[in-house]
Amino acid sequence: MTRAPLPEGIRFLDPEEAAARAEAVATLRDLYRQWGYLRVEVPALERLEPDHPRASKAFKLVDVGGSVLALRSDFTPALARLVRTAYPAVAAGEERPLRFSYDGLVWHAIDPELARGREFTQVGIELVGVSSARADAELIHLARESVRALGLTPRVEVGNPAYVTALFDAAGVPDGARGGLADAIDRKDQSAVIALVEGHGLRGPAADAIVEVPDLYGGPEVVDEALSRVPTAAARRALERLAGVLDEFEDQGDLMLDLGMARRLSYYTGVTFRAYTFDFGQPLLGGGRYDGSLLPRAAGFALGLGRVLAAVEAAREPFDGGAVDVSTAGRHADPLVASLDDAAARRLRAAGVRVVRSVADEPAAARAEAVTMGADFLLLPAHAGERPGERLVALREGHDHVVEQRLRSLLAAEGA
């Protein structure tokens, strides 16, 4: 049997993909920096903790001493660990907003299915030490802005699983039945919800609200609808928090409420959200509040970079093969120069031009090499008596003369 070069669900990135990824990460880092989030790095190798929310999904390794390690499977618990170590007062309950951003790989030891990798890049932020509708709104706003910054139109669904929990408490749903019922609500499986509610003999306004909750999605009116027959104070608080988050937005157009968001990662306790974009069937990012689980007050989100870039690619598709030649777009601003003249090349690089050093030993071979690598210009060593820059050769027909002039003036510049 032939051996696959890489484990399943793991892949190489070609230069184009790697560049797209690096650019997207840079865009997001910049966005988060502008909002005052401080970038941190957390280790990829962790001690395996059985109570880690994704312990069963983690790739495990054995340390030299025999203890079990895990590859990072989720940034949020890793960031929480960082806060517990570096900011013990905040981890103990001090109210003080801390903003962190991160980006890097996570690994999931799952059955590799179609279109689901096992190693993927996540970019995200956490807002720790504060819990309020205003803090929730900041994260939802930045989730929306993240999607926009990458050139996509966002639609963010916002829910509060605490509402469903409050309904369960009010209706007296037994502990053993909660998982299955939350699951059915989350899948908007009306018939299963009805069957479970009837099967457990649940009756009364809270039971009715449980049956109706899967269909409560849409604009702010769904909160009013739910508030009109809210069974308990806890349910009211969960709804009012959602309303409060919405109130923070002047433009609610891209937001959508879903009171039936009932089942998320185990650590979420409050407002949660996911972002989608048009004609792309999978969520681009997800996040929420996890007060009281990993930290006393904290919320955040993580964006799946591969997903987002696939969505960007899909959005671009209709233009493929059209009149716009993508391969040369942007080339004028960022020409590629091949060079046999090391001193001249240094001057161009100092001015920010991309210059590849030719490994050929004579001009004809250098020209062939330059064409192969797709260079726009070839820079040959000046002969005695020639002005610097005179031996810059344009390799493309119809090349940009403004760019050529700029390169020539850089080469001829004083102090060269």
Partner 1 sequence: MSEGGQAGGQRPWLVVALPKGRVLDQSLAMLKDVGLAVEVPKDPRALRYEGDGVRALVMRNADVPTYVDLGVADAGVVGYDVLLEAGSRLYAPVDLGFGRCRISLIRPRGATGPVRRVASKYPRMTTEYLRRLGSPAEVVELSGNVELACLSGLADAVVDVVETGATLKANDLEEVDVIALSSARFVVNRAALKLKSARLRPLIAALRESAQQG
Task: State the minimum distance, in angstroms, from the CB of residue 404 to partner 1.
Answer: 39
Give least dist CB 258 to partner 1, A.
7
Q: Locate 12 and state its tokens.
A: 């190489």
Identify which of residues 90 and 197 has a Cβ nearer to partner 1 in the complex: 197
CA 46 – CA 184 distance, rounded (Å): 34
DSSP class per residue in 148-192:
HHTT--EEEEEE-HHHHHHHHHHHT--HHHHHHHHHHHHTT-HHH
CB of 195 to partner 1, least distance (A): 9
| Binding region for partner 1 (CB under 8 A) | 114-115, 155, 157, 186-192, 214-215, 217-218, 256, 258, 276-283, 314, 317
Please, what is the minimum distance in Å from the beta carbon of residue 315 to partner 1?
A: 12
Give me the DSSP letters along 46-94.
Answer: EE--TTSTTGGGS-EEE-TTS-EEEE---HHHHHHHHHHHH-HHHHTT-
Q: Considering beta carbons, is residue 131 or 146 the nearer one to partner 1?
A: 146
**Pair of tokens at residue 83:** 């806060």
Shortest separation between residue 260's beta carbon and partner 1, angstroms: 9
Q: Nearer to partner 1 by C-beta: 257 or 370?
A: 257
Q: What residues form DSSP beta bridges with 101?
A: 39, 125
**Cα–Cα distance for residue pair 23/399, rounded to 1 Å:** 26
**On the CB side of 140, how many CA atoms lie within 13 Å of its CA?**
32
**SS3 assignment, position 314:** helix
Residue in the block written with tokens 């993580």: 302
The minimum distance between CB 15 and partner 1, in angstroms, equals 23
Which strand (E) or helix (H) includes residue 286?
A: strand 280-289
User: Closest separation between CB of residue 316 and partner 1, Å?
Assistant: 12
The torsion of the CA quartet 212, 213, 214, 220, rounded to 10 degrees, works out to 120
Compare residues 115 and 402 and give the one whose CB is closer to partner 1: 115
Per DSSP, the three-state class of 394 is: strand
